[in-house]
Amino acid sequence: MGNNFLRLLSGLWVTVRISLISIAFSLVLGTLLGAVMTSKNKVVKVICRVYLEIVRIMPQLVWLFIVFFGVTRLTGANFGGETSAVIVFTIWGAAEMGDLVRGAFQAIPKHQFESSLSLGLTKPQMYLNIIFPQALRNLLPNVINLATRMIKTTALVSIIGITEVLKVGKQIIDANRFEFPNAAIWVYAAIFFMYFLICFPLSMISRAIVKKQQRSE
Amino acid sequence: MNIDFIQKYAPLYVQAAKLTVVIGVIGTVLAAAVGLLCALAKYFKIPVARQIASVYIELSRNTPLIVQLFFLYFGLPKAGIRLSSEACGVIGLAFLGGSYMAESFLSGLKSVGKIQLESAESLGMKRGQLMRYIVVPQAAAVSVPSVCANVIFLLKETSVFSAVSLADLMYVAKDLIGMYYNTGEALLMLVAAYLIIILPISVLFSVLERRLKRARN
């Protein structure tokens, strides 16, 4: 029994690893994208917008299929399941992250920029001391929510054949079919609560941050 | 690109799209009903019901739909509850969406200020009148954008149904890829099908939101 639990955990680690790598990439690329999105150039704005909408309109599973089956077929480049998953979740996460960064910057009132400049701060000083701290405060809860969304979405990767927690669960159920015919209900309940135990604390943290900010305002 | 292949198998996609839409719509409507009940229980602070709603919302929001579906489809039969794929899809979608809808409705209800409630009461309005003339119209206007976002989110989530062997769009695409290896055509039709379903709704919703925003200003 203990052994099976460890196996489930190692399966869970596969999805968590995919989400952690994708989240890390998305944070970096999304921040850059967000900076680009605040540009006043119309063409740049439209291109970013189109990218975001194209990524958003399709279910993530469709994107997984396109990269896992389609790109391989079209270009001959052979991605493994995990690589495909990281590519898809990074493209998606970066788009969402970019939109969050853009929103956080645009939520900062114009007078903050103007007053810092009129106080004689240089532009780097203004960004470092005035703008970034405020933007970060708006951003943090949303980024945590995005991370939980990404962790939940990585549960889909079993469909493109990655041996993660759902697959391991199925293996355990099949292996114990005769001794424990009712294992399915316990195994899937365990997986359900594993995801819950990862995502629930994150949601709580994000909510606590929002509450604290509201109180201080 | 093989046009004959597309012509031959497009009807399969049409059929699958119909199934996706029907289950998506039923699931979304049920989700809205569940969400409304939870929001009301929390808004009126009904004892017991309110705690149940809170626990349910956390469980539903912090777990992936695919895990919920696996529990319903593979787990529950072991406890003697046997559900068809379609029933699993509808119940899963309602379970997932209910919490998102509840949060949308609740934030709408809470947006109506205390002053308004007190003024309405001091004008001699009964509780029913207060809800009907003061709270609901304002709450509805506030909730609409996030309810719309939820509807699109839920429609996209229907793509997971293939995991519980529901013959939806993903299922057909995967089948065709596996059987005939016409990956490009199968994926193209998959993308087209989702665009045809989601794009009009997304455009309609953004028009609706813009109207609402203008009406409020």
Looking at this predicted complex, what is its ipTM?
A: 0.87
With b for 16 or more beta-carbon neighbours within 10 A and e for fewer, the B42-70 pattern comes to: bbeeeeeeeeebeebbbbbbbbbbbbbbb
B63 to A152: CB separation less than 8 angstroms, yes or no: yes
With b for 16 or more beta-carbon neighbours within 10 A and e for fewer, the A185-199 pattern comes to: bbbbebbbebbbebb
When pLDDT is cut at 50, 70 and 90, the band that residue B167 belongs to is confident
A65 to B170: CB separation less than 8 angstroms, yes or no: yes
DSSP notation for B186-197: HHHHHHHHHHHH
Residue among A188, A198, A207, A210 with most chain B CBs within 10 A, to mutate:
A188
Output the pLDDT for position B216: 72
Output the pLDDT for position B128: 87
B183 to A188: CB separation less than 8 angstroms, yes or no: no
When pLDDT is cut at 50, 70 and 90, the band that residue A43 belongs to is very high
Question: Which of A66, A181, A195 is opposite residue B62, by nearest beta carbon?
Answer: A195
CATH number at residue B22: 1.10.3720.10
Output the pLDDT for position A132: 87
Backbone phi and psi for residue A38, each to the nearest 5 degrees, phi listed first: -80, -5
DSSP notation for B18-82: HHHHHHHHHHHHHHHHHHHHHHHHHHTT-TTHHHHHHHHHHHHHTS-HHHHHHIIIIIGGGGT--
Per-residue tokens: A121: 């701060």
Does A106 have pLDDT greater than 90? no
Does B217 have pLDDT greater than 70? no
Domain that holds residue B104: 3-212
Residue A2 exposure: Cα atoms within 13 Å on the Cβ side: 0
Q: How do residues B185-213 score in pLDDT, each as one tens digit?
A: 889 999 999 999 999 999 999 999 888 88
Output the pLDDT for position A74: 78
Q: Does residue B56 lie within any of the structural domains?
A: yes
Question: Which of A62, A183, A191 is opposite residue B67, by nearest beta carbon?
Answer: A191
Q: Does residue B178 lie within any of the structural domains?
A: yes
Q: CB-based contact (8 Å) between B178 and chain A?
A: no
Q: CB-based contact (8 Å) between B81 and chain A?
A: no
Q: Does residue B199 lie within any of the structural domains?
A: yes
Q: Does residue B115 lie within any of the structural domains?
A: yes
Q: How do residues A156-211 score in pLDDT, each as one tens digit?
A: 998 888 888 999 999 999 888 888 888 889 999 999 999 999 999 999 999 999 99
Q: Does residue B23 lie within any of the structural domains?
A: yes
How many domains are there within chain B?
1
Does B51 have pLDDT greater than 90? yes
Question: pTM value?
Answer: 0.89
With beta carbons less than 8 A apart as the criterion, state whether B78 and A184 touch: yes
A191 to B78: CB separation less than 8 angstroms, yes or no: no
Question: Which of A58, A69, A148 is opposite residue B194, by nearest beta carbon?
Answer: A58
CA separation, residue A186 to residues A1, A136, A203 (Å):
12, 41, 25
| Pick from A88-92, B19-23, B106-110, B164-168: least confident | B164-168
A73 to B183: CB separation less than 8 angstroms, yes or no: yes
Which chain B residue shows the shortest CA-CA distance from A170? B74
A61 to B159: CB separation less than 8 angstroms, yes or no: yes
Measured between alpha carbons, how far is B205 from B217 in angstroms, rounded to an integer? 19
Chain B partners of A148 at a C-beta cutoff of 8 Å? 62
When pLDDT is cut at 50, 70 and 90, the band that residue A73 belongs to is confident
Output the pLDDT for position A203: 94
Q: Does residue B217 lie within any of the structural domains?
A: no
**Other residues' Cβ atoms within 10 Å of the Cβ of residue A36:** 16
Q: Does residue B146 lie within any of the structural domains?
A: yes
Domains of chain A by start residue, with CATH: 2-216 (1.10.3720.10)
